[in-house]
Each structure stands twice: as structure tokens, then as C-alpha cells.
A and B are shown apart, each in its own frame.
Chain A
């Protein structure tokens, strides 16, 4: 069983829709990261969270440490948001290593 579980695995949305991607983890963490991977392969860090909520443009990330759960929301989705979104956690026990989810593949249709 993976320490980080994401849902859904695949998501198709119409342009303008509100999107939510969920991440649950099973270990104690020092931080949780949301990453974006475009079809070219490169990965970009969107958020690093250790508590509460962060907002950047149309993206919002929340985390509930007690429930070991995080969500990534995209408001007013756009075709350029199409990418794979990966949740990763920094376990308290392992210093600079991560556990990764398998990713959520998002396609936004015009």
C-alpha cells in the first residue's frame, strides 16, 4: 500500500468548472507538496503546506493535519491547467526524502 493516495486518478472537466483533487497520507509529515507535471515531463512545485490553506491565483491548497488529508482546488479551470497533479509528503522520519502519490491526470476541455 502506498503511503500517499490520490483521487481521482483521472479527471475530465469542462472549461470553467471548479475542480478538486484529494490526497490522503498515512505517515506523520513535516510538509505536504502539490506538484504539477505537464506532458513534456518537467515537474513544478505549486505549494508546500504544513498547515491551513494557501492560495495562488486560481489554485487553492488546504491541509488537515489531524485527518491526514489535503485537497487541491482549481477555480475557473482552463485547458492550460491540463496536467498531472502529484501529491508528495515529507515524512518527519526521513529528512529530505518524499513519498509520492501516483498523480491525478486532469484534462480540461474547451
Chain B
């Protein structure tokens, strides 16, 4: 374990389902991130939360909805997804005060949309 825990590790969902991905860190970091990793593409940043406030939303479709209830937990709510949304979703955290330190990734959730 890296200190960033993601659940579930694998998820298969239909296009009409609603599901949520969870990320938890107890590293004392103040920033958390959602990334999407598709085959043969660079990691794509989806959302950034600093001190629980969303600071970046990189043109992500509204069928992805993030929630950050506190600085240790981050959720990604999924609804009416498309097959092209199948990918590895990675959570990361870091400490941004005074720089950007301790960047740590979780193990990811492998999502398959059928």
C-alpha cells in the first residue's frame, strides 16, 4: 500500500448504472486528484481538489461527478457512462504548501462499462 487506498479495484457497470469510486489518504496531504488512464494515452488529469475546494476541472463530462467531503477522502460518482469511459481511474494526493511534495498514487480502479 502506498498510503492512498482506492476501492473498488475492479468495477463492471452497465450504461444505466450509478456507481461511485472511493479514494482515501492518511498522509496528511492537502490536495487530491482524479486521473484517467486509457490504453496508449498519457494520464489525463480530471479533477483537482486543494483544501477540499475543487480548483481544476479539465473539461470532464458531467457524467463524472467528484466529491471531496474532507481532505482525506475523495469520491468519483459515475452515472450513465459510455463504453469509451472504460479505463483505469487513478487517485493521487500531494502536499502543495511550499511546493508540490510527496505525490502519491493509489492502485487504481479498473472500470469496464458494458
Contacts and interface: CB of A to CB of B under 8 A. Distances in A.
9 contacts: A30-B99, A41-B88, A41-B90, A42-B107, A43-B108, A96-B96, A97-B45, A101-B42, A102-B42
Interface of A: 2, 4, 30-31, 33, 35, 40-45, 48, 86, 88, 90, 95-103
B104 interface: yes
A43 B105 contact: yes
Interface of B: 2, 31, 40-43, 45, 48, 50, 56, 88, 90, 92, 94, 96, 99-100, 103-108, 110
Nearest to A31: B100
Nearest to B89: A41
Residues of A contacting B: mostly: strand
A96 B43 contact: no
Contacts of A98: 43, 45
Top-7 shortest CB links A-B: A42-B107, A43-B105, A41-B108, A100-B42, A100-B43, A96-B100, A96-B96
Contacts of A33: 103
B91 to A, nearest CB: 10
Nearest to A99: B42
Contacts of A90: 100
